[in-house]
Structure 1
Amino acid sequence: MPSPAAENLAPVLSPEGFALLNSVPEGGAATDAAALELNLRLRREGHSPELVTAVVHQARLRARAAEKLGPFAAHMLLTRAGLEQATRLNVAALHARRFVDAGFRGIADLGCGLGSDAMAMAALELDVTAVELDETTAAAATVNLMPWRNARVVNADATSFDLSGFDAVWLDPARRTTSSSGTSRLFDPEAFSPPLSFVESLADAGKAVGVKLGPGIPHEALPAGCEAQWVSVGGDVTEAALWFGPLARPGVRRAALVIGAHGSAELTSPDDYDAGASIRGDVPVGDASGFLYEPDGAVIRAGLVAEALDLVGGHLIDPHIAYFCAPELVATPFARAYRVLNVRPYNVKALRAWAKAEKIGVLDIKKRGLDVTPEELRKVLLAGSGKSARKKATLVLTRIGDARVAIEVAPSLVAGDTPEDTGSS
Structure 2
Amino acid sequence: MKSFIHVEPESHFPIQNLPYGVFRPLGDNRARVGAAIGEFVLDLSVIDKAGYFKGTAVEGREVINQESLNAFMGLGKKAWQEVRAIIQGLLREDTADLRDNASLRKEALLPQKNVELLLPVEIGDYTDFYASKEHATNVGTMFRGKENALMPNWTHLPVGYHGRCSSVVLSGTDICRPNGQKKPKNDASPVFGPSEQLDIELEMGWFIGPGNELGQPISIDKAEEHIFGLVLVNDWSARDIQTWEYQPLGPFLSKSFATSISPWVIPLEALEPFRVSGPNQNPEPLPYLKKEGENSFDINLEVSLKTKNEKSPQKIISTNFKFLYWSMAQQISHHTIAGCNLRPGDLHASGTISGPEKEQRGSLLELTWRGTDPIVLENGETREWLEDEDQVMITGWCQGDGFRVGFGEVKGCILPAKEQPQQNKSSDNKILRTNI
Same fold (TM over 0.5): no
Structure having greater relative contact order (Cα 8 Å, sep ≥ 6): 2
User: TM-score range, shorter-chain basis?
Assistant: under 0.3
Q: Which structure has the bigger radius of gyration?
A: 1
Higher helix share: 1
